Amino acid sequence: MNKNVYLQDLSQKDYKYIWDYQADLLQSIVDLKIQNRRNESSIQTKNHFLFVEHPHVYTLGKSGDMSNLLLNEEQLKEKGATFYKINRGGDITYHGPGQIVGYPILDLENFFTDIHKYLRLLEETIILTIDEYGLKGERSEGETGVWLDVGTPFARKICAMGIRTSRWVTMHGFALNVNTDLGYFDNIIPCGIRGKAVASMESELGRKIPTDEVKEKILKHFKNLFEVDNYIL
């Protein structure tokens, strides 16, 4: 099993460009797995982790409800935002500047073959990361992602998650609100959940947070939880 992970920080990139790039990486891994089985060979598959920040964009998961987008096409243009219906799980979410988006493209057969465990470890990665800033992240039953003040009238989501898998290879991932303009969430019903607010590290702590610092902490906890051997740049 190959537990090395190729790491790329892609700065700010268009959503569609990165979606296609993820799909290409996933397909190359899947193709190699098929080839290995056909030829009874054991060529190691690669694992990847992409960091990216997107320009303003709304994405709707495959089981999502279009009515959770509260803007029409003209209003999207006025906001400088784009919209994509995509192939991950979950409903609607927003990506934009000041948000850390992480896309692990992992062959889970290099780690463990358990999608539930994969999602819980992604959540735990973020929970441990924001704990270093004094924020108590929690899981909310039946609602993937990381939340604050679960079980109270003030529950709010700080990190959204949605994934897709094919032959145990993952794509899509998480979006952690660091210095995000939360006003853009007013144009959707986030994750299709009415009456729940969103939060950012900046809104909770009252200051801008260095995103590179947060990324380093995410990578540290991801490495420990997934028992990654090395990051390869």
Q: What is the pLDDT of residue 145?
A: 95
Could you tell me which CATH class the domain 4-232 is placed in? alpha beta
Could you read off the pLDDT tens digit of each residue along the chain, which spans 233 residues? 899 999 999 999 999 999 999 999 999 999 999 999 999 999 999 999 999 999 999 999 888 889 999 999 999 999 999 999 998 977 889 999 999 999 999 999 999 999 999 999 999 999 999 999 999 999 999 888 999 999 999 999 999 999 999 999 999 999 999 999 999 999 988 655 666 799 999 999 999 999 999 999 999 999 999 999 999 99
Q: Is 134 exposed, middle or buried (0-12, 13-18, 19+ CB in 10 A)?
A: exposed
Q: What is the pLDDT of residue 190?
A: 67
DSSP type of residue 154: T
169: left (phi over 0), alpha (psi -120 to 50) or beta: beta
Active-site residue list? 191
Annotation-wise, does 160 bind a ligand?
A: yes
Q: What is the pLDDT of residue 95?
A: 97
**Residue 187: both structure tokens together:** 């144009």
Place of tokens 């700065």: 11
Annotation-wise, does 93 bind a ligand?
A: yes
Annotation-wise, does 37 bind a ligand?
A: no
